[in-house]
């Protein structure tokens, strides 16, 4: 059986209804790139039923079911109140329901050694969950590039290679790539302001923007990437390698999880 990877859903309004969903490209990358079974995790229990079990119990239930956690990108942003900042007026796109489940889930995964991989918003969520901060408008910061996509271009152009990143010598990404630099796409308006304590930078853009990090002291695989490796991952050696490593870690976690269950049954 393939390992089960929980994919965090966005929560948004659609034609008068509340919808929990994930863009297909992320699901495909988990299914094919990581060779895993993607299972969507609703944005938060409060969006469904406020009388359900307390947060910690829900988090424990999720980890009883999955062998890894994937945090996809999203048009929404992490609520600035989670890192001590004030919202802009008018406020930027947000998804408080997703924040409610993703932030404690990140901490829970790292505590348990459950493989976790965050992309774009997921990258930003991981930094905030661990005590870091964000630039709400990275493109307004002196000396920083505008890392946003050109929305007037077609989707192929938006997700095309945009700039180089320097891969940290001796880092996980440099080892997978077998190179010191890599060309990546760029579709984000926010970015890391202060890196959370204990995180190790894996890649930086030419303007100094942190583009990837991991938690070296946490047990198990973990990675956070600001660009979009899920986009046609099979055409990019680094992207393919990242999803392969994530899937391999999830398979090991699955073996431990199912092995423990069998031992319990035998005992």
Q: What is the pLDDT of residues 203-230, one digit of tens each?
A: 999 999 999 999 999 999 999 999 999 9
Can you give the pLDDT at residue 179?
A: 98
Q: Which two tokens stand for residue 244?
A: 């392969």
Q: Would you say 227 and 163 are in contact if contact means Cβ atoms under 8 Å apart?
A: no
Which position among 20, 120, 149, 168 bears the catalytic label?
120
According to DSSP H, which parts of the chain are helical? 24-28, 55-65, 96-112, 121-129, 155-158, 172-177, 237-266
Query: Which class is domain 4-266?
Result: alpha beta
Dihedral pair phi/psi, residue 116, rounded to 5°: -145, 140
User: What is the pTM (predicted TM-score) of this model?
Assistant: 0.93
230 is catalytic: yes
- Condensed to tens digits (0 to 9), the pLDDT of residues 137-168 reads 999 999 999 999 999 999 999 999 999 999 99
169-206: per-residue pLDDT in tens? 999 999 999 999 999 999 999 999 999 999 999 999 99
Residue 125 among the catalytic residues: no
Active site residue 82: no
Q: Convert 216-241 to b/e letters by CB count within 10 Å (16 or more is b).
A: eebebbbbbbbbbbbbebeebebbbb
Cβ atoms of 187 and 158 within 8 Å: the answer is yes
* Active-site residue (options: 20, 97, 188, 228): 228
Give yes or no for a contact between 71 and 106, defined as CB atoms under 8 angstroms apart: yes
């Amino acid at each position: 059986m393939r390992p089960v990877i929980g994919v965090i859903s966005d929560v948004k309004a659609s034609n008068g209804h509340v919808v929990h969903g994930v863009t297909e490209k992320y699901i495909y990358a988990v299914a094919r790139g990581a060779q895993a079974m993607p299972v969507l995790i609703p944005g938060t229990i409060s969006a469904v039923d406020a009388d359900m079990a307390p947060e910690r119990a829900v988090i424990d239930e999720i980890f009883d079911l999955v062998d890894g956690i994937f945090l996809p990108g999203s048009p929404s942003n992490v609520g600035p109140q989670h890192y001590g900042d004030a919202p802009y007026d008018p406020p930027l796109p947000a998804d408080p329901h997703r924040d409610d489940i993703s932030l404690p889930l990140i901490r829970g995964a790292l505590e348990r050694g459950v493989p976790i991989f965050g992309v774009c918003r997921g990258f930003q969520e991981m930094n905030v969950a661990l005590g870091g901060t964000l630039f709400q408008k990275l493109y307004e910061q002196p000396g920083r590039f505008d890392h946003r996509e050109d929305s007037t271009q077609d989707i192929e152009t938006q997700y095309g290679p945009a700039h180089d990143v320097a891969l940290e010598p001796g880092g996980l990404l440099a080892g997978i790539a077998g190179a010191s630099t890599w060309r990546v796409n760029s579709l984000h308006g926010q970015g890391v302001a202060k890196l959370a304590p204990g995180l190790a930078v894996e890649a930086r853009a030419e303007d100094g923007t942190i583009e990837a990090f991991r938690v070296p002291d946490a047990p198990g695989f973990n990675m956070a990437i600001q660009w979009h490796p899920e986009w046609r991952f099979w055409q990019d050696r680094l992207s393919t390698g990242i999803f392969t490593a994530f899937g391999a870690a999830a398979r090991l976690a699955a073996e431990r999880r199912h092995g423990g269950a069998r031992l319990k049954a035998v005992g």
